[in-house]
Each structure stands twice: as structure tokens, then as C-alpha cells.
């Protein structure tokens, strides 16, 4: 704690002395015009005032700013729940547990792999959002309401495409919301589509995890049976089975197979 405090003080002094030196250099080049009235170093003053809105437009602008900040704060949740990140992260964690690995690879590395695989899978969707929503909005051809509709449309299509053969979750949430049966994809509200997509991704991820676990469970059972037949009851079977599982995973090029099947599962 003391080290952090000392470093903070040193950084503040460094910033202050650097600004003072920079101001003195400007004063030397401009004939001393940069000094204050008393010859002191000028320090900027930032004033943030809070007042009542003068019109309805200012009120609407404040509300829009609040909503924008809310969306930005929810961006991590949006990235996790509305993209392929959820399925990939769960499957990678299943692989780590199936191999009986505790610290390798670290959780940060697995999340990084899931993030870049998500960017790879979602790149066409993000490109469509940029071209159909962001570019027209910056050019002024569409308004804020149209921006939301055009931006969410590709993401909605991605989520619905993953549930093309499994509409049970959508029906479940439509019934719980007391909504009528939708006639088409456009009739499904976004607040219904998102939780349905999350449940579908959880189901698919756990199904893939079961398939991954089966061969490694067989190895654990064989090793445990051999150790028991040899009388080595006190020796943990995981300690002996883990090298065999790693050898099997490397020999079959497990990471390549896993990544290929994960990417293909979204097409």
C-alpha cells in the first residue's frame, strides 16, 4: 500500500513539473505571454454546472445521453449473450475440465481465445451492421430510431438462424409473455429472442461438452480399474490419467478439431 501511495505521489509530481517546464519553454519562445497576472503558472479551471433544461429538446438530449451510457455499460453483457461468445467460452471450459487441468491454460487465455473466435465468427454480422446502420447514420441519411432498427436486424437474424431447427425456446418465452404465436421471424420481439437464444446456446454448449467428456471419462475409468487391480488404492487416478489424456488430445490434434467444429456449428 505504501509503495502504491509513493508511486502515485511521484506520478503527480512528474506531471506537474513536466507541465511547468513545458509552460516555461512556451513563455521563453513567446516572450513570457503564457504566465498569469502574478507571474504564476496558469492552471485551467473546469466548471461543470447542473441546471434545469431550457426546452424539451434539452430534456430529450439528456435522456438520450443517459440511455447511451446505459447501453455502453451493458456492452459486455451484450457481447456475451447475443454473440457466439457464450457457446465458445463454455465449451473451452469443458475441455479444460475434461483434461483435468487446473491452471493451464489460464482463464484469461481461454477468454482471449473465445473473444477472437467470436470476432472471426461474427465478422460478417458486424460488417453488415457497420455498412447498413453506422455509415448511413454518419452520413445523415437515417435518424436514431432507424439506426437502432438497422443495427439490431443482422444480430437478430444471427440469433434466429442458430435456432432455426429449435423453436421451442421462442415458444416458451412467447407463452410466458402472453403473446400470440408469431407468424414470421419479424413478429418475435427482441426481448423474447435474446433469452431464447441464451437458453439455446447453453443447451448446445452442454451437449458439446458431454461429447468431449466421454472419451476422457473412459480413460479415467480404465486407469482407475488398473490401479485398483494392482492394489494402488491410495494413488489418485487423475494423476496417472492426465498424461494419457493429454497425449490423446495432442495426437488427434484436438485444438484444431475443436476450433473447426465450433466454427462450423455456427454455419
The Cβ-side half-sphere exposure at 108, using a 13 Å CA radius, reads 0
Separation between Cα atoms, residue 207 and residue 204, nearest integer Å: 5
Q: Which three cell numbers stand for residue 253?
A: 490434434
Terminal CA-to-CA distance of the chain, rounded, Å?
51
Q: What is the pLDDT of residues 152-167, one digit of tens each?
A: 888 888 888 888 777 7
What per-residue confidence (pLDDT) applies to 235? Answer: 72
For residue 180, give the DSSP letter. Answer: P
Are the C-beta atoms of residues 250 and 83 closer than 8 Å to each other? no
Please return the burial class of 92, using the count of CB atoms within 10 Å of its CB with bins 0-12, 13-18 and 19+.
Answer: buried
**Which of 72, 76, 153, 66 lies closest to 114 in space, CA to CA?**
76
**Could you tell me the pLDDT band of residue 28, with boundaries at 50, 70 and 90?**
very low
* Averaged pLDDT of the chain: 76
- The 3-state DSSP class for residue 84 equals coil
- Per-residue CA distances from 59 to 66, 67, 72 (Å): 11, 12, 20
Separation between Cα atoms, residue 27 and residue 33, nearest integer Å: 6
Q: What is the pLDDT of residues 121-142, one digit of tens each?
A: 988 888 888 888 888 877 777 7
* Comparison of pLDDT for 185 and 264, the residue scoring more: 264
What per-residue confidence (pLDDT) applies to 20? Answer: 46
Q: What is the pLDDT of residues 171-224, one digit of tens each?
A: 888 888 887 877 777 778 888 888 888 898 898 899 988 888 888 888 888 888
Separation between Cα atoms, residue 111 and residue 116, nearest integer Å: 9
Are the C-beta atoms of residues 76 and 70 closer than 8 Å to each other? no
Q: Examine the pLDDT at 98 and tell me if it is beyond 70.
A: yes
Separation between Cα atoms, residue 173 and residue 14, nearest integer Å: 58
What per-residue confidence (pLDDT) applies to 47? Answer: 54
Separation between Cα atoms, residue 7 and residue 4, nearest integer Å: 5
What per-residue confidence (pLDDT) applies to 229? Answer: 79
Amino acid at each position: 500500500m505504501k509503495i502504491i501511495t509513493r508511486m502515485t505521489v511521484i506520478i503527480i509530481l512528474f506531471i506537474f513539473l513536466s507541465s511547468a517546464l513545458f509552460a516555461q519553454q512556451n513563455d521563453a519562445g513567446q516572450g513570457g505571454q503564457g504566465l498569469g497576472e502574478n507571474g504564476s503558472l496558469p492552471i485551467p479551471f473546469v466548471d461543470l454546472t447542473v441546471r434545469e433544461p431550457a426546452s424539451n429538446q434539452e430534456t430529450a438530449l439528456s435522456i438520450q445521453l443517459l440511455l447511451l451510457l446505459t447501453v455502453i455499460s451493458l456492452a459486455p453483457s451484450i457481447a456475451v449473450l447475443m454473440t457466439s461468445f457464450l457457446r465458445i467460452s463454455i465449451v473451452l471450459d469443458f475441455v479444460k475440465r475434461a483434461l483435468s487441468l487446473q491452471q493451464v491454460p489460464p482463464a484469461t487465455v481461454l477468454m482471449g481465445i473465445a473473444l477472437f473466435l467470436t470476432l472471426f465468427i461474427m465478422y460478417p454480422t458486424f460488417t453488415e451492421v457497420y455498412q447498413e446502420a453506422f455509415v448511413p447514420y454518419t452520413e445523415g441519411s437515417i435518424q436514431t430510431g432507424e439506426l437502432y432498427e438497422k443495427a439490431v436486424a443482422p444480430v437478430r437474424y444471427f440469433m434466429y438462424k442458430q435456432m432455426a431447427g429449435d423453436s421451442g425456446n421462442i415458444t416458451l418465452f412467447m407463452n410466458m409473455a402472453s403473446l400470440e404465436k408469431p407468424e414470421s421471424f419479424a413478429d418475435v420481439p427482441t426481448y423474447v429472442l435474446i433469452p431464447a437464444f441464451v437458453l439455446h446456446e447453453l443447451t448446445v454448449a452442454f451437449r458439446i461438452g458431454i461429447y468431449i467428456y466421454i472419451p476422457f471419462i473412459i480413460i479415467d475409468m480404465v486407469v482407475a480399474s488398473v490401479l485398483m487391480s494392482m492394489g494402488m488404492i491410495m494413488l489418485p487416478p487423475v494423476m496417472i490419467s492426465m498424461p494419457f489424456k493429454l497425449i490423446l488430445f495432442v495426437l488427434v490434434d484436438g485444438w484444431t478439431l475443436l476450433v473447426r467444429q465450433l466454427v462450423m456449428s455456427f454455419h
